[in-house]
Chain A
Amino acid sequence: MADKGSHRLRVAEWVAIIWLAIIGFAAVFGPLLPLQDPTAQGECTTKQPKRELDASGSPVVVDGKYRLIAQPGCDFQKAADDRSAAKPSSAHLLGNDQIGRDLLSRVVAGARTSIFVSVGSVLAALVIGGGIGMVSAYVGGKVDAAVTLFSAAMVALPGLVLAISFVAALGRTMFAVWAALTVGAIPMVALVSRIQSLSLIQREYVVAAKALGATHSRVLLREVLPNLLPFAFVFVGLGFAGAVAAEGGLALIGLSVDQPATSWGAIIGDGKALLETAPHISLIPSVVMFLTIWAATRLTDHLTDRLGVRGSAL
């Protein structure tokens, strides 16, 4: 919570912004960065396009897709053992996981899942939930009462329960996790959007627009919606932080994206069994996750003060 009246960004906020920028960059451009393959288990495997011998016996690239190819003649087991759960070194800045995969590239690959799923679900929940709340407030009456009652009851439900069903039905895909997190976030957004819309709808300019004969959609989109944006920003921050943690939780119990994709929670889960001998495997992704959630919360607090959005509204 920043001091009231002081809207300048302080050191902590700058740290938060820079951290989120780094994570965002890693999520978007991760596959293009000069990192090791996040699935390569030792020096014996390299990433190459698959080649097959043609009729004349010379190798041709099959489909241009890169696959992990074991180097012939290499002691695969030994190479993996050498790097298994290795501590950070100059060759592997964050060390290696239990089967010798480079942790830095895994954390970067995990950022892609964690960030994409979280941002995607927050935005979808914002549009759907925000829309439901706004329309419900505008329509009023029994519809509004039912929407409110239902959303309020759903808010208390732990998102994890619905999420597990989504993953069980749709498989361990990014889509299933995204859908689960989105559905879980909608009721809260709908409630907040409804409450804010309710007070906006009674304002003079909205009443005036109605009196001038503006259509319902015009009133909602041109008069009400723009004034909901400050709350949308605050929700994006808080919702994102919650989604990162939720995805992490799902992944930790093995119900987020399946191999070869990974996420921060999955890496934490991978290292769980080795807490005694190689704590860095779990610790590094959980620190990354913590900093990301902290940064989002910190910036949201700042924004809340800055936009004059009352904290209790959320």
Chain B
Amino acid sequence: MSDGWNIVVCVKQVPDAAEVSIDPDTGTLNRADADAVMNAPDYNAVEAALEVRDAVGGTVTALTMGPPSAHEVLRAAVGMGADDAVLLTDRAFGGSDTWPTSLALARAADELDADVVFGGEETTDSSTGQVPPGIAAHNDWAQLTYVEDLEPRPEEDRLVAKRDVEGGYERVAAELPVVVAMEFGENEPRTAGLHRKIFAETDFEPVEWAASDLGIEDEVGLAVSPTQVGGMATAEPVPREQETVDDVEKLADRIAEVL
């Protein structure tokens, strides 16, 4: 595999977690005004994708499904060093739960002839963590989730991962093509270089595909989504005393009282 791997990295546009807040007056969730940013864990996915490309050669293509404004997250990925980017955008995708979302990303990854597809652990908005395993399931590819570290073995057409298995770890070798979900915070995402950043923000245009370009116009959207959001309530804050004491003795008394 002298020409390296085709690497695809999935990035999602989400409302800035720091700006999603509960309106103290109305008790409703304020997310409409929040800026749209790249899902924080996806920076780890982009970094891992770039590291694997640097080790084995090949290209990294950033991929997102979202409204036209989602090209911003693709620009961020290109600024970090992704070679190219694809935006899946179409009204037909509206209302998709994780089943059609992962189908669209899976078909696009297949179209891009991916050897490895990267994603983040989960998103900061709906945080299902179901999209990367969903991509693997739709394409019947191998998968590696909760990945802490990677060792590409191009000579074997395999990727070896160290996975977090709650309290321990395992090393798993998976055959290509494989979908990898990186554990949040496991690497130090690089910052965009100045020239690359200017290129990404001024000259770069992502490729755009609609559902029909992937032949899935009848297999996406609300109608084929098995789950529906039936309602949403702001989580009620648990009532607390919120009393601050000024010396340790009082704190010890409180603890003793509780016990």
Do A and B pair up? The answer is no
